[in-house]
């Protein structure tokens, strides 16, 4: 399409959403305006319009972040690109091998958002389902992701959760141990009588974008036998996600 036929406001809105994604957290109007090189009134109008559609959220402290409507769009995009279908077989195979629940959670704002799940014969808890959120500091998936983030981002995300200085120090003290092991476990921390083991899943840039976990009732939690298949499946998902990202980037380069 010729450049003079494009709608500038749509282009600006797209730039704004990409910038919100790039900062990995809430941002103030002044800072966003400066990053975009646009005046505050124009940026505020774009934010208000996008907020009406659920693509942007304004927080209690007057900062802005991506809205959950984008999760719906992103989920649909994954389905259309076939990524969800490609990730399902390894996850389902892991669930059959461990005979426990297998979940994929993505890093979303300052939580882990569950996006795909295969249940065991015994459902753990009705409240644990696709769309549920897990805290970064008290879930195996959250800490598995945190451990492989850059240190400044890790501290910023923990600070944003409001868990306090003591808990933050306790979590940070575990990071090297998690990196050395390649996985993290939790028992009865996030949900009573539920335990889990998780590994990070990495995107094309090498940063963790998700975590793959195996969960069970705490009374039969036996992670030693799950480590090898969990790590192997996590590596499979990393390859699949990176291959899909490379395909999309390639298509973008060759598109007219």
Q: What are the residue ranges of helices labelled H in the chain?
A: 8-23, 29-36, 40-52, 69-81, 83-98, 140-146, 151-161, 165-173, 175-181, 227-254
What pLDDT is recorded for position 2?
A: 43
CA atoms within 13 A on the CB side of 48: 6
Measure CA 137 to chain center.
14
- Is 3.40.50.460 the CATH number for 71-252? no
What pLDDT is recorded for position 42?
A: 95
Structural contact between residues 43 and 32, judged by C-beta atoms closer than 8 angstroms: yes
Q: What is the DSSP code (8-state) at residue 218?
A: G
The class (CATH top level) of 3-67 is mainly alpha
Question: What are the residues whose beta carbons fall under 8 Å from the beta carbon of 55, sequence distance 6 or more?
Answer: 17, 66, 67, 69, 70
Structural Rg of the chain based on CA atoms = 20
Q: Where are the domains of the chain?
A: 3-67, 71-252
How do the pLDDT tens digits run along the chain, 256 residues long?
Answer: 444 557 889 999 999 998 887 776 789 999 999 999 999 999 999 999 999 998 999 988 889 998 878 877 776 665 665 556 788 899 999 999 999 999 999 887 778 888 888 887 665 554 577 777 888 999 999 999 999 998 988 988 888 888 889 999 999 999 999 999 999 999 988 888 889 999 999 987 788 889 999 999 888 899 999 999 999 999 999 998 888 765 444 444 443 3
Q: What is the DSSP code (8-state) at residue 4?
A: G
What pLDDT is recorded for position 205?
A: 78
What pLDDT is recorded for position 252?
A: 44
Rounded to the nearest 10 degrees, what angle do helices 69-81 and 83-98 cross at? 90
What pLDDT is recorded for position 79?
A: 60
Structural contact between residues 80 and 68, judged by C-beta atoms closer than 8 angstroms: no
């Amino acid at each position: 399409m010729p450049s003079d036929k494009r709608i500038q406001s749509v282009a600006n809105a797209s730039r704004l959403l990409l910038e919100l994604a790039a900062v990995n957290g809430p941002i103030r109007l002044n800072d966003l305006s400066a990053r975009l090189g646009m005046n505050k009134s124009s940026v505020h109008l774009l934010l208000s319009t996008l907020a009406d559609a659920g693509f942007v959220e304004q927080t209690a402290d007057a900062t802005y972040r991506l809205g959950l409507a984008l999760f719906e769009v992103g989920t649909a995009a994954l389905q259309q690109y076939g990524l969800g279908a490609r990730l399902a077989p390894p996850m389902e195979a892991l669930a059959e091998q461990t005979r426990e629940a297998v979940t994929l959670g993505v890093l979303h704002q300052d939580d882990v958002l569950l996006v795909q799940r295969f249940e065991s014969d015994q459902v753990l808890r009705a409240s644990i389902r696709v769309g549920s959120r897990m805290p970064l500091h008290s879930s195996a998936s959250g800490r598995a992701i945190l451990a492989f983030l850059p240190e400044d981002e890790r501290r910023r995300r923990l600070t944003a959760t409001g868990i306090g200085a003591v808990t933050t120090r306790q979590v940070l003290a575990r990071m090297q141990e998690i990196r050395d092991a390649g996985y993290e476990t939790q028992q009865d921390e996030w949900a009573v009588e539920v335990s889990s083991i998780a590994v990070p899943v990495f995107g094309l840039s090498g940063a963790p974008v998700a975590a793959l976990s195996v969960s069970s009732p705490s009374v039969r939690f036996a992670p030693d036998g799950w480590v090898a298949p969990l790590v192997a499946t996590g590596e499979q998902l990393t390859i699949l996600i990176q291959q899909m990202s490379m395909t999309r980037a390639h298509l973008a380069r060759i598109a007219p």
